[in-house]
Amino acid sequence: MSVGKVWLVGAGPGDIGLFTIKGMEVLNSADVVVYDSLVGQGVLSKIPSGVKLVNVGKRANHHTMPQEEINRVLVEEAKKGFRVVRLKGGDPFLFGRGGEELELLKEEGIPYEVVPGVTSPLAVPAYNGIPVTHRDFCSSLHIITGHKRAGEEYDIDFEALVRTKGTLVFLMGVTALEDIMNGLLKGGISPDMPAAILQKGTTADQKRIVATVSTLKEETMRRGIETPAIIVVGKVCTLGERFAWYEELPLSGWKVLVTRPKNMISKTAAKLREKGAEVLELPAIRTEPMEDKAKIREALLKLSAYQWLVFTSPTGVDVFFEEMRSFGIDVRSLGSTKIAVIGEGTRKKLQDHSLNADLMPEVYDGDSLGAALAALLDGTERILLPRAEKGNENLTKLLKETGAQVDDIPTYRTLYENSLLIDEKMELESGNIDCVVFTSASTVRGFVEGTKCEDYSGIRAACIGKQTRAAADAYGMQTFMAEKATIDSLIALVMEMKNRETLTKRESL
């Protein structure tokens, strides 16, 4: 067997939008992913299914696996012929011990590449409106590890750092904040020098505390801080309030869980991120074509016999045309057949196949579709309804009541799934999720099946339509419904939900 290869990939500081294009390309082709605790959940959710996963921990003072063992794992997996991705928070070569991992790979003759990552000393201040350099204040930047072994003194020349008159960024130094500030004071820095501590930058839990070198410790104790966080010292810290931009976005500070199927989730997530939300993409369902294709094949061979073709989901459209392709049936076989769709998303998916819908109801649900189409029928029509295995039975009933012949054929089934990397139940029960977005009743059921929480009354559910809302209501969730059954309307609903929460908090003060 040929030797595989190792990629050291920087995952960035947290925001999935800061994960590099090359990093994503390498991750998508991985056989094995060795990841640590500082990798953002957004990046973890992008790891392909079927990949071998190795969690090595790696937070300060809490190592799941010693560095020597990590090095050995990389070599062993590569020698099996696998494509191994060592996924590291931030950048592999900035206090990431990437150099140590390469040493053994080099000795063993294992091919490797390094994919740099966006690093927190630059990205986190930027998300907090703090430019690490500014010609009016400083002309240099210095990045220092704030980590030290318990009971040992810092091996840092604080006097030299102070003499640079540059911006100082300390990583992994939260627990030693007082020692760092005292070291700078002994090194001659002004007690009034601006200093900041920046919590969980680029995520919904981002928080900025700005004080001075002499008061930062006291202010941090008063207001509280969580790790990971970085410390910034320098006059540029005064610009944070003036240049702040991230918290101005309408959904900043909110962590939103999106449950759509994997092949449909990206656009929804992108729209939410554009508004400032931290989005956790954890599909609650997946779809797969039915194994028994006899009925759909029979229907496709007589397409021209149907007066109407009805689609109730974007997935249904994709599966139908894939079945046509697999059986070698030309789209011209549709002839004069008219097409009805349940809503905007399905209409757009149909347009991807260069076809326009002849009918779309004003309200995007199965009952409205059935009523709108039934009003056009005289009872002599033949209708093809290719859709999910478990669909809205009332739709078929409404159409058959006109006398029309309806071939209701299941073309795909919906299966529930949950994440192997992220503990959704813990995220929910610890209050880390501000809102869960549901685009169908099946995503609600898949979400419940995957999380198995005892109580869902604390979940804010943004629902695309009344059937979805009814499913969420059945589990006692706090439900809200979009004005229209479109993704844009759903995004507007999430923003309205956040605005309500903000207003409620202000009124309670």
Q: Which domains does the chain have, with CATH numbers?
A: 5-118 (3.40.1010.10), 122-248 (3.30.950.10), 255-284+417-508 (3.40.50.10090), 288-413 (3.40.50.10090)
Provide the annotated active-site residues: 36, 58, 172
Identify which of 23, 73, 67 has the alpha carbon closest to the alpha carbon of residue 43. Answer: 23
Number of neighbours of residue 337 by Cβ within 10 angstroms = 17
Residue 43 has phi, psi (to 5 degrees) of -70, -40
For residue 58, what pLDDT band results from cuts at 50, 70 and 90?
low
Q: pTM of the full predicted structure? A: 0.85
What is the DSSP code string of 162-185?
Answer: HHHTSEEEEES-GGGHHHHHHHHH
Distant-in-sequence, close-in-space partners of 219: CB < 8 Å, separation ≥ 6 = 209, 211
What percentage of the chain reaches a pLDDT higher than 90?
A: 76
Q: What is the mean pLDDT of residues 50-55?
A: 93
Alpha-carbon torsion (91, 64, 280, 419), positive or negative: positive
Summary mean pLDDT of the chain: 92
Q: pLDDT confidence of 267, banded at 50, 70, 90?
A: confident
Instruction: Round to the nearest angstrom and report the end-to-end CA distance of the chain.
Output: 67
Q: Is 366 helix (H, G, I), strand (E, B) or coil?
A: helix
Contact 494, 435 (CB under 8 A): yes
Asked whether residue 376 carries a pLDDT value surpassing 90, the answer given is yes
SS3 labels along 249-289: CCCCCCEEEECCCHHHHHHHHHHHHHCCCEEEECCCEEEEE
Q: Note whether 130 and 194 are within 8 A (CB).
A: no
410-469 confidence digits (pLDDT tens): 999 988 888 888 889 999 999 999 999 999 898 999 999 999 999 999 999 999 989 899
Q: What are phi and psi of 310, to 5 degrees?
A: -120, 125
pLDDT-wise least confident of 58-72, 85-99, 364-378: 58-72
Q: Give the 3-state secondary structure of residue 492.
A: helix
Burial of 461 (0-12, 13-18, 19+ CB in 10 A): buried
Of 53, 111, 115, the residue nearest 79 (C-alpha): 111
